[in-house]
Chains A and B, each alone.
Chain A
Amino acid sequence: MVPGVRCWLSLLSLCWIGLIQAADADVVQLYRETAVMQQQLADYSAAGSVLLTNQRLGRSDAAGEWLLAGIYRDFGMSRHAERSFRRIIAQGATTVQRNQAWLALASARFRRGQVEAAEDALAYISQDIPKELLLDRLRLQTSVLLARQQQNRAIQLLGAAEVRNLRDPVLDYNYAVALMAVQMDDKAFEVLQSLGKIKPRSEEAGAIQDLANLRLAELQARQGQVVEALTSLQRVSPDGPYQVASLHLRAELYEGLKRWDAARADWLALQRKASTEVVPAEAWVRAAYSAQQAGDLPAAVQGFREAIPLHEQEKKQLNQALQWLESNDWLEMLDGRDLPLSADTLWLRYLPELMSGHRFGTALSDYQDARRLDRQLAMIAPTLPQYQSVLAERRQAFEAVRGQWDADALDLRIRKLQRQSTGLTQQWKRTGDGRQSSIGVTEAQRRMMERLARVEVRIRALPAGDDKAPLLQRHDLLRGLLIWDSNQTALLEREKLMESQQAVLSGLEQAVSNRQRLMKRLAEKPAEFRQASAMLDAMPGRIDELRSGLRAVMQQRRQQLLEQIRERLLQRIDELQLNQDRARYGVAYLLDRASVDQADKP
Chain B
Amino acid sequence: MLRKWLMMLMLVGAVPVTAAAQDADRRLEDLKQMVMELNSDLAVLEEQLLYPVDAQFTVFMATESAGAFRLSSVELKLDGKLLTSYLYSDAENEALRRGGVQRLYLGNLKSGKYDLQADVVGIGAAGKEFRQTRQVMFEKEARGRYLELRVRDEGKAPLVSSRVW
Contacts and interface: CB of A to CB of B under 8 A. Distances in A.
Q: Do A and B actually bind?
A: yes
Interface of A: 13, 16-21, 24, 26-27, 30, 33-34, 36-41, 45-46, 48-50, 52-53, 56-57, 75-80, 110-116, 139, 143-144, 146-147, 170, 173-174, 177, 203-204, 207-208, 211, 240-241, 336, 338, 352-353, 355-359, 361, 366, 369-370, 373, 376-377, 380, 387, 390-391, 394, 532, 535-536, 539, 542-543, 546, 549-550, 553, 556
Given A37-B100, A357-B9, A17 B95 contact: no
Contact of B99 (A36, A146, A377, A556): A36
A17 B52 contact: yes
Contacts of A543: 38
Given A143-B10, A358-B13, A550-B35, 8 more contacts: A16-B54, A24-B146, A49-B40, A77-B33, A211-B11, A361-B9, A536-B45, A553-B24
A539 B9 contact: no
A19 B53 contact: yes
Given A18-B52, A532-B49, A36 B5 contact: no
A34 B22 CA distance: 32
A364 to B, nearest CB: 10
B150 to A, nearest CB: 10
28 contacts: A21-B143, A26-B148, A33-B62, A36-B100, A37-B102, A39-B100, A40-B94, A40-B95, A45-B35, A45-B39, A46-B39, A77-B33, A114-B17, A143-B13, A146-B13, A147-B14, A177-B11, A203-B3, A241-B8, A355-B5, A358-B15, A366-B24, A369-B32, A380-B39, A387-B42, A387-B49, A394-B49, A532-B45
B156 interface: no
A24 B142 CA distance: 16
A230 to B, nearest CB: 24
A362 to B, nearest CB: 8
A423 B49 CA distance: 46
A556 B165 contact: no
- Grouping DSSP codes into helix (H, G, I), strand (E, B) and loop, the B interface class, with mixed when no group exceeds half, is helix
Nearest to A79: B29
Nearest to B40: A52
A312 to B, nearest CB: 28
Interface string B71-111: 00000000000000000000110111011111100000000
B38 A539 contact: yes
A56 B2 contact: no
Contacts of A16: 52-54
B7 interface: yes
A233 B6 CA distance: 23
Given A37-B96, A57-B47, A373 B31 contact: yes
B103 to A, nearest CB: 5
A539 B163 CA distance: 38
Contact of B32 (A13, A18, A373): A373
B128 interface: no
A177 B8 CA distance: 13
Nearest to B45: A532
A111 B14 contact: yes
A21 B13 contact: no
A57 B58 CA distance: 15
A143 B10 CA distance: 8
A34 B28 contact: no
B115 interface: no
A40 B148 CA distance: 20
B22 to A, nearest CB: 8
A49 B52 contact: no
Interface of B: 1-17, 21-22, 24-29, 31-50, 52-54, 60, 62, 91-92, 94-96, 98-103, 142-144, 146, 148, 163, 165
Contacts of B32: 45, 48, 75-77, 369, 373
B145 to A, nearest CB: 10
B13 A53 contact: no
A94 to B, nearest CB: 21
B52 to A, nearest CB: 4
B28 A366 contact: yes
B103 A18 contact: no
Contacts of B15: 113, 147, 357-359
A356 B9 contact: yes
A352 B1 contact: yes
B88 to A, nearest CB: 11
Contacts of A17: 48-49, 52-54
Contacts of B11: 170, 173-174, 177, 208, 211
Contact of A76 (B14, B27, B29): B29
A112 B25 contact: yes
Contacts of B24: 366, 553, 556
Given A110-B14, A387-B46, A40 B102 contact: no
Contact of A370 (B8, B31, B95): B31
Contacts of A207: 4, 7-8
Nearest to B6: A356
Contacts of A57: 44, 47
Contacts of A391: 45, 49
B9 A13 contact: no
B7 to A, nearest CB: 6
B5 A352 contact: yes
A13 B163 CA distance: 26
B144 A241 contact: no
Given A26-B165, A111-B14, A370-B28, A546 B50 contact: no
Nearest 10 CB-CB pairings of A with B: A37-B100, A40-B95, A33-B101, A113-B17, A49-B39, A356-B5, A52-B40, A17-B52, A147-B13, A143-B13
B60 A170 contact: no
Contacts of A208: 7, 11
Contact of B98 (A40, A352, A535): A40
B133 to A, nearest CB: 22
A356 B8 contact: yes
B38 A355 contact: no
Contacts of B3: 203
A48 B31 CA distance: 13
A550 B38 CA distance: 14
Contacts of B29: 76-80
Contacts of B40: 49, 52-53, 56
